[in-house]
Amino acid sequence: MDIGIVSTRYAKALLGYAQSTGKENVVYEEFKNLMRSLEQHPELKEVLRNPVVSDEEKFSLICTASTGNNRPSEEFQRFISLVQKNKRDDLLHFICHSFLSLYRNSKHIGVAKLTTAVPVSREVEERIRKSASTLLHAHMEVQTEVNPAIEGGFIFDINDYRLDASIATQLKRVKQQFIDKNRRIV
């Protein structure tokens, strides 16, 4: 069984169904939240793989992970029921990833990640998003992350490109230059 093919088929079916009902934006937000929950709480994936946990409990956990205390959309609920009926709970993480990718491609949405040593203001984040949107001719979603280990500057990942202007990386380059120069002297 190829996990990529199975998850892509489920994701395509869900996207088609959500588009036919006009709720693709709602389902996208729910799956974005679910993906974030699955990434931040790896124990949730373990619970989904556990055969001892009942389907009702898994369903409740998935709905809570995607919408919090709010009620998820009918499309989301029906899809999760289908996934559980076909015993594909363990593939939900891959299905989420495939669905988000398909949705973003269909709506021309790019994803960027900005890593800084200190939190950036909303104004700076919005300015970066607008600049990236005009350069790529697509709507951009910018995720921000604070990582003090970079010591200053920023790391900007967009699609398959990385702009690394962090102090930590620059210090590593200078150190490597000194090491290389000292090897030539000896």
Domain CATH code at residue 10: 1.10.520.20
Claim to verify: residue 98 and residue 117 sit in the same structural domain: no
**pLDDT tens, position by position, 103-137:** 999 998 888 899 999 999 999 889 988 888 888 88
Choose one of 88, 105, 122: the last residue of a domain: 105
Q: 61-81: per-residue pLDDT in tens?
A: 999 999 888 999 999 999 999
One domain, residues 29 and 74: yes
The whole-chain average pLDDT of the chain stands at 89
136-178 pLDDT tens trace: 888 888 888 999 998 888 898 987 788 888 888 888 999 998 8
Which residue range(s) make up the domain with 172?
110-185
What predicted TM-score, i.e. pTM, was given to this entire model? 0.79
DSSP line for the chain: --HHHHHHHHHHHHHHHHHHHT-HHHHHHHHHHHHHHHHH-HHHHHHHH-TTS-HHHHHHHHHHHHHTTSPPPHHHHHHHHHHHHTT-GGGHHHHHHHHHHHHHHHHTEEEEEEEESSPPPHHHHHHHHHHHHHHHTSEEEEEEEE-GGG-SEEEEEETTEEEEEEHHHHHHHHHHHHHHHHHHH-
Band (2; pLDDT cuts 50, 70, 90): low
Number of domains forming the structure of the chain: 2
